A and B are shown apart, each in its own frame.
Chain A
């Protein structure tokens, strides 16, 4: 199979899942519209890079900006790994941030509630 096509097939689902995740975060109110736009643009840039990898490579070679060898299977694995890492980082960031906000909100409410029960929080 053409290696460029393999690169697209392996990575496109990750990118689409990343975009879907951003929409989901917006729906839950965890990010604002501008955040959704920025994340979508980021993933579309990754997708563009993957879909036009051959054209980008040819462009760079013609202008003498790279002298690296054409795409190999090892490169496909490497690029897929990098996309997966980016995907994981954003997913983990979203999860940790949401958990942190929930935790601080809980801590706030609990501190006030306990102080009021003790009688020190209401005067």
Chain B
């Protein structure tokens, strides 16, 4: 018997908003008559602000401090390592910037506990109402590039909201430390023949999250950087097989 669900939040300089994100998370999820406990771990990826202090101020939230800044992929991998090591049955990864709604986290949690799939992606693009147009275009462009390079066909390849059961926790492997980890993770799930589905989720866009952007750059610069990372990953995949 495992320890229920582990919510993994990779965070880098999210001190302004992470407190609110943690306060909103459920303590348990009820599926049918089964009550599944929820634990939260924040992987602080070498933040220079008060992210760690915000996390430690909250009871029941575990904090793993990265000694060195590794990137979103590295922090997510550490979180999944933590979940395996502590014998959790399920894991959910989510962003620390407050863009995921608590009810969407619960939706993915219920689906993974019910056994709907081994690996679930919360897709912001199945119903993209409210998402800025340039983000829709950028994300769809990345979906097409990921399909061409890796043959993965999903509607939101860059979504940070994902759920894993034990099979997925054991079998999904990725090595990218940067944002190329998103398609690499899906690619690995495909190679491991895991059952994969997508569920529609709503992204909450605030001035904070829109201003910050991925990697703290403009959307275009971040998009170009992700495309470069994907090409590198594909080339590396060819060399490594």
Contact = CB atoms under 8 A, between A and B. Distances in A.
A103 to B, nearest CB: 10
Interface of B is mostly: mixed
Contacts of A114: 65, 67
A123 to B, nearest CB: 5
Interface of A is mostly: helix
Interface string A32-58: 111111110000000000000000000
Contacts of B47: none
A99 interface: no
A38 B234 CA distance: 14
Contact of B63 (A33, A101, A108, A115): A115
B63 A39 contact: no
A121 interface: yes
Contact of B241 (A33, A109, A110): A33
A108 to B, nearest CB: 5
A36 B86 CA distance: 35
Chain B interface residue number, banded: 20 to 34
Interface string B168-211: 00000001010000000000000000000000000000000000
A111 interface: yes
Interface stretch (B76-84, B110-118, B213-221): B76-84
A61 interface: no
A115 B67 CA distance: 10
Contacts of B67: 107, 110-111, 114
Interface of A: 30-39, 93, 97, 101, 104, 107-112, 114-115, 120-123
The 6 A-B pairs at the shortest CB distance, nearest first, are namely A35-B241, A32-B241, A34-B241, A120-B63, A115-B64, A123-B62
Interface of B: 39, 41, 43, 55-56, 59-68, 70, 74, 77-78, 81-82, 85-86, 175, 177, 236, 238-241
